[in-house]
Amino acid sequence: CGVVAVYGHAEAANLAYLGLYALQHRGQESAGIATSDRGKMYVELGMGLVADIFTSQRIKKLPGNMSVGHNRYSTAGESQIVNAQPCVINYAKGSLALAHNGNLVNADEIREVLVEAGAIFQSTNDSEVIVHLIAHSHGDSFVDRVIEALSAVQGAYSLALMTEHEIVVARDPHGFRPLCLGQLDGAYVVASESCVMDLIEAEYLREVEPGEVLLINEQGLQSFFPFRKQETRRCIFEHIYFARPDSRIFGEYTYSVRKRMGKALARQSPVEADIVVPVPDSGNLSALGYSEESGIAFEMALIRNHYVGRTFIEPQSPIRHFGVKVKLNAVKELIDGKRVIIIDDSIVRGTTSRKIVKMVREAGAKEVHVRISSPPTLFPCFYGIDTPNREELIASRHNLEETRRFITADTLEYLHMEDMLEVMGEDKGKFCSACFDGNYPVDIDGRGHQPIQL
Ligand code: 5GP
Ligand code: SF4
Ligand code: MG
C-alpha cells in the first residue's frame, strides 16, 4: 500500500491526491483521502485507480489544511470498499483517520479480544484494530493513545493518523516498510516513497526512523522512540521490486540498488550471449547492470503495452500466449538468430517466465538464458507484500533444474542470497529476507505474541 500525509498546507487534499498518484504502483485496488477542517473530518474513498476515483469535484469536497491518503493493495482482508482506507471513525475523544501500509501479524488475536469487549468492526482488514485500540486507550493525549495502541500490535506498519488538529505518523520498530518526511512551503509531508516529494516539489528531509513516532502539530515536529528497540529489518523486496526506482528508500535510491544487483548477477552467473534483454519494467535496471558488467549489449527487445487493464476480450479462435502477449511483445528483428539473456527481478509462480521464454524462442532466439536478480522466492510474506501461498511458489516445490525445465530456458540462475546482501554493503544485516530464507523477524504463528489487555 501507499501512504501520504500533509500538515499545514492550503492544498492538503490536492497534494495528497498527487502523492497517491505517484504511489499508484503500491496499490491499485482502492484509494482514499481524508481531510480535517475546523474540527470536522471529510473522507472520499473509491475502488480502482487514483485518477479514476478523484475528480476535481471530489477533491473540492475535501477542505482543510491537513490530509491523509492511502492506496490499497490487499494483503489482509478482501477487496471491497469497506476495506478502503483511510479508515475514519468517531469515538469518545473525537475523530480520527488512519492509513496503514504493512501487515500486522497479531491482528486476529487483538480483534477477538476487542470483539469480546463489544467492539464493532466495519472492515475485515487488519488495520482497523489499531483504530479500536486507540479508541480504547485511556492515554491523556492523542499521541499517548497511539503509542499505547501500537505497543500491542506486532508486525509491519508505516502509518499516518490524523485528528482534528494533528498528524501522527509511525514506523514499526523493525522498519519493514519505508516512510519519509519532507517539507513544502513550511508544511510537512509524509509519504511511503520519496518520489512523492519530487512530484509536489517538496524538500526531502529524512526517513521516519524504525520505531519512531512523529507528532506534527502547531508546535512543529516532535519525535518519540517509545518502543523497545528492535533490530532493523527493512524489506529487501522493496528494493528488488516494489518501490519505484526513482525513490530513495531506506537511505538509498532503488535505481542504484537494482543496478548493482544486476552487476552482481553478471559476476556470479555469466553466460556467453549476444544481447541482454529486460522483462519490462521490473527487470530494466538489473538488466542494465548485467549488461554494463558483462559488456553484452542491452536491448529493449521486449516491449510493454502500458495501457493494459485487468480484463481483455479474447477472440473466439485461440491466440497462443495471449495473456502475456497483450502485455509484452518481442521485437523479432533484435532477437532472431541471437543468444538472449532475459533478466527479471523475481520468479513467483513461474508462469510469466515460461511464457516469455516461449515468446522469445518464437521470435527466433537461438538460446534463451534466464537470470533473476533475487534468490528463489520460497516463503510467503506476512509483512505487507502479497505473495501467494507456499504451494504456489514454484521454487518451494521444484529445484533449480526442475524450474529451468518448467520455464523451458536453456539455463536459469538466480542471484544468490549472499551476493544479494553484499549489494547492500554495510547495511546488509539490516534487511528482512524472509521470503527467500524463511527467517521471519517477527513471529508469524502467534507463539511469541503477548496477550493484550484492554
Ligand atoms: P510469476 O509469473 O513468476 O508468478 O511472476 C513473476 C513476475 O511477477 C515478475 O516479473 C515480477 O516482476 C512480478 N512480481 C513479483 N512480485 C510481485 C507482486 O507482489 N505483485 C505483482 N503484481 N507482481 C509481482
Ligand atoms: Fe519483504 Fe520478503 Fe520480508 Fe516480506 S518477507 S518483508 S517481502 S523481505
Ligand atoms: Mg515483472
Distance from residue 379's CA to the centre of ligand 2 (Å): 9
Tell me the CA distances in angstroms from 361 to 38, 101, 282, 329, 366, one per residue in order: 63, 40, 21, 12, 7
Q: Is 87 annotated as a binding residue?
A: no
Report pLDDT digits (tens) over 171-184. 999 999 999 999 99
In ligand 1, the atom with minimum distance to the C-alpha of 237 is 16
Q: Whose CA is nearest to atom 12 of ligand 1?
A: 282
Distance from residue 378's CA to the centre of ligand 1 (Å): 14
Cell match 528482512: residue? 432
Starting from the CA of residue 380, give the closest ligand. Answer: 2
Q: Check pocket membership of 350 for ligand 1, CB cut-off 6 A.
A: yes
Q: Is the pLDDT of residue 77 over 90?
A: no
Pocket of ligand 2 (CB under 6 A): 176, 235-237, 381, 383, 385, 432-435
Distance from residue 42's CA to the centre of ligand 2 (Å): 34
- The cell for 403 is 524450474
What pLDDT does 112 receive?
A: 92
Distance from residue 283's CA to the centre of ligand 3 (Å): 7
Judge if pTM exceeds 0.90: yes
ipTM of the complex: 0.95
CATH numbers and ranges of domains, the chain: 2-230 (3.60.20.10), 249-437 (3.40.50.2020)
Mean pLDDT across 334-341: 98
Tell me the CA distances in angstroms from 396 to 307, 378, 380, 392, one per residue in order: 33, 5, 10, 8
In ligand 2, the atom with minimum distance to the C-alpha of 382 is 4
Query: How many other C-beta atoms can be found within 10 angstroms of the C-beta atom of residue 87?
Result: 26
Q: Is the pLDDT of residue 324 over 90?
A: no
Q: Check pocket membership of 384 for ligand 1, CB cut-off 6 A.
A: no
Provide the annotated active-site residues: 1
